[in-house]
Structure 1
Amino acid sequence: MPAEATRRTDLADLVASRKDELGLSYRTLASRTVDPERPDEGPQWTRGTLENLINGKPVKTPTPDRVRGLAAGLGLPVRLVQDASRAQFHGIDSIRVEGETLDGDTLLMLRHYETLSPEDQLKLRKIAEDWSRMRPADD
């Protein structure tokens, strides 16, 4: 199967939908992408890079500071942007357990999770839930 056919667009889709939801231009979104941990470094994304990302053109894998900046610019939790970035650039699905909330304690990061049968996905989630219960509370 050609690489183009299997290319994921998780981060691009997230950015495009949130950009549209907020009614932001590429330039305005770029200006908002300041990493809260390093505000003196200014915006982490340029208009052109955001446009390339959304339009499916090659961009470099985002670094942690760029992920934090993008999350800030989009007004989203960093975890959502991290999950989308891992999926698009590394093919890793982030599966949260413990009540299906973003505040869950356990995170599975798996390649090709989406290709598993629903039954196998459920088995992995059950294993993670059981493992989570075995951990000491103050880990």
Structure 2
Amino acid sequence: MPEATRRTDLADLVSSRMKELDLSYRTLAGRTIDPDDPDNGPQWTRSTLENLVKGLRVKPPTPQKIRGLAAGLSLPVRLIQDAVRAQFFGIDSVRVGEEGLDEDALIMLRHYETLSAEDRLKLRKIAEDWSRMTAPSGD
């Protein structure tokens, strides 16, 4: 049986953001401090970040590491979470609703990218409808 293609969502995000911010692995590692627990220091090492970006196997990050990486890359935590779900668990995250709102509906499923455009639209519509049905009323 052929080996499944490994995803590189987190590695690609880290690599591109490092280039945008002109960060070295060592500098980024020093910036990966979890804002919820700053006394615990940097959450990532230079070598782990380098291994991640180079496609070598690394363990899925803990919530503390995710928050630290988000801080280090100056990105929202949810972008790091989405990339982790995709790369390590093969779960695609599709947000629907008004852009930028924390209350967006979130669809998480495996192999979303293999669905037809029509099926993707159907899922988004279901999530939008569900989000409206479960949203607290303004009363």
Normalising by the residue count of structure 2, what TM-score does the alignment of the two structures yield? Answer: 0.94
1:62-101 equivalences in 2 (<5 Å): 62-101=61-100
Q: 92-101 or 50-59: which moved more?
A: 92-101
- State the Cα deviation string for residues 9-68 of structure 1 (Å, max 9, x = none): 000000000001100110000000000001011000000000000000000000000000
**Partner amino acid, structure 2, of 1:108:** I
Aligned residue pair count: 137
The CA deviation at 1:108 is 0.6
- Give 1:102 deviation, angstroms: 5.6
Structure 2 unaligned segments of length 5 or more: list them: none
After superposing the two structures, state which structure 1 stretch, 100-109 or 48-57, moved more: 100-109
1:2 maps to a residue whose letter is: P
- SS class of match (1:59): coil
SS at match of 2:67: helix
Task: Note the aligned Cα RMSD (angstroms).
Answer: 1.4
Percent sequence identity over matched residues? 74
Provide runs of 4+ in structure 1 moved above 3 Å. 100-104
| C-alpha distance in 2 between matches for 1:32 and 1:94 | 26
Q: Which residue is equivalent to 1:60?
A: 59
Q: Give the C-alpha shift of residue 105 in structure 1.
A: 2.1
CA contact (8 A) 1:97 1:104 kept: no
After the TM superposition, which of the residue ranges 43-52 and 94-103 deviates more from structure 2? 94-103
**Equivalent runs, 1:1-139 vs 2, <5 Å:** 2-3=2-3, 5-101=4-100, 103-137=102-136
1:90-120 per-position Cα deviation (integer Å, ceiling 9, x unaligned): 0001100113446452111111000100100
